[in-house]
Structure 1
Amino acid sequence: MALDDDIALLARQPLLSLMERDALRLLAFAAESRILRAGDVLFRVGEPSDGAVLVISGAVALDSREDGQPAQEIVGPGALIGETALFAAVARPVTAIAREPTQVMRLSRSVMRRVLAESPASAEAIAAAVAQRLQGFVGQLAAVQEALTALERG
């Protein structure tokens, strides 16, 4: 796949689309492309994260349970798995397994940090978007708390 194609794929991600083109170019250049066979495990629930994975083609099953039940979610081309892991070391909340031959692009947190350090405008845009998301989550939590309080009273 050509570098310009990789940049275009990254630019389709809501958070990454906020980055300057040169920053996306650096991120795409440093990304690792992998071809997976059906059944290959990308990572398991609880493992430490080192970045995100963008599905280029194929399908990946995501499941937080290890009980043999059908996957909780199947994602396909364009899905960014583990976006938070681009910015923070977190435990993987799901196991990710290729359901069919699948091509992915691995984006490492260390590269993302270097790219954002070299592109302050991109870093500021992403920080603002993350702050806005957090404010939305806090609002949702407040609404849930109000609903629970109302149930306790009622």
Structure 2
Amino acid sequence: MALEDDIAFFEQVPTFAALGRQALQVLAIGAEARHLQSGSVLFYAGELADAAYLVQEGSLLLEPGTFTEREEHVAGPGALIGELALLTDTVAPATAIAREPTTVVRVPRNLFRKTLEGYPAAAQRLRDLLAARVDTWTQDLDKVRRALKKET
């Protein structure tokens, strides 16, 4: 893929789109594509996570780990997996298995952090995006709390 195509692909993901084209250029140059055969495991639940993965082609089955109660989930093109690993130490909550020949783009945490350091405006836009998400989650949880309170 040409660099402009890579940047356009990153721009389709809200977390990355918030950074702006200059920062995305750095990420697109530093990220690495990984090609997986059907049935290959990208990572296992419980492993330390030091990168996020953006599904470019194909799909991954995400099987929950023993410490989670979530159902299986399929992540297809454009899905960002492991977003939290871009910002902090964490473990994978699921095992990711290629359902078919699949290409993912690996974005290492150290590359992401260096990009944010080099582009403070991008870091601010990301902070604003994440703050808005937390606000939405808080409002949603408050609705659930009120609904549960009515039931008792």
Fold equivalence (TM over 0.5): yes
Aligned Cα root-mean-square deviation (Å): 1.4
* Cross-structure match for 1:16: 16
SS of the aligned residue for 2:90 comes to coil
- Cα separation, 2, equivalents of 1:122 and 1:23: 7
SS of the aligned residue for 1:15 comes to helix
| Matched letter for residue 118 of structure 1 | G
Cα distance per residue 1:92-119 (max 9 Å; x no partner): 1111100111111000111100000000
Q: Which of 140-149 and 126-135 deviates more?
A: 140-149
* Cross-structure match for 2:128: 128
| Identical positions, percent | 42
Task: Please identify runs of 4+ aligned residues in structure 1 that moved more than 2 A.
Answer: none
- Cα separation, 2, equivalents of 1:88 and 1:150: 37
Contact 2:46-2:65 within 8 A present in 1 as well = no
| Matched letter for residue 104 of structure 2 | V
* Cross-structure match for 2:79: 79
Contact 2:65-2:93 within 8 A present in 1 as well = no
Aligned residues: 148
Contact 2:52-2:108 within 8 A present in 1 as well = yes
- Cα separation, 1, equivalents of 2:80 and 2:55: 6
SS of the aligned residue for 2:117 comes to helix
Kindly state the Cα deviation for residue 86 of structure 1 after the two structures are TM-superposed. Answer: 1.1
Cα distance per residue 1:60-116 (max 9 Å; x no partner): 1112056xxxx7221211111111211122221111100111111000111100000
Question: What is the TM-score of this pair, normalised by structure 1?
Answer: 0.90
Structure 1: tracts of 5 or more residues without a match: none
